[in-house]
Structure 1
Amino acid sequence: MLKQTLIHPEINLLLGRAGHHSKVLIADGNYPAYNTLGPNAELISLNLMPGVVNCTDVLKALTAAIPIEAANTMGIPADDPYAGQGDPPIWNEYRQILKHADVDVELEPIEKWDFYEAVAGPHHVLTIQTAEQALWANLLLTIGVRQPGT
Structure 2
Amino acid sequence: MISHTLVHPEILSALASAGHGSTVLVADANYPFRTVVGPNATVVYLNLRPGLVGAEDVLEALVSAVVVESAAVMVPGDGPEPEIFAGFRRLLPGLELTELDRQAFYAASRSDDLALLVATGEQRVFSNVLLTLGVVGA
TM-score bracket, shorter-length normalisation? over 0.9
Matching residue within 118, 125, 128 for 2:115? 125
Q: TM-score, normalised by structure 1?
A: 0.89
Deviation at 1:30, TM superposition (A): 0.2
Q: 1:96 matched to which residue of 2?
A: 90
Aligned partner (choices 129, 133, 136) of residue 139 of structure 1: 129
Which residues of structure 2 form unaligned runs of 5+?
none
After superposing on structure 2, the runs of 4+ consecutive aligned residues of structure 1 that deviate more than 6 Å are: none
d(CA) in 2 for partners of 1:105 and 1:49? Answer: 30
Distance (whole Å) between structure 2 residues aligned to residue 13 and residue 143 of structure 1: 15
- The one-letter amino acid of 1:137's match is S
Q: Which has the larger radius of gyration?
A: 1
What is the TM-score normalised by the length of structure 2? 0.96
SS of structure 1 residue aligned to 2:84: helix
Question: Where in structure 2 are the equivalents of 1:1-150 lying within 5 Å?
Answer: 1-77=1-77, 83-85=78-80, 87-99=81-93, 104-147=94-137
Query: In the comparison of the two structures, how many residue pairs are matched?
Result: 138
SS across alignment from 1:30: coil
Root mean square deviation of aligned Cα: 1.0
- Structure-1 separation of matches of 2:28 and 2:79: 21
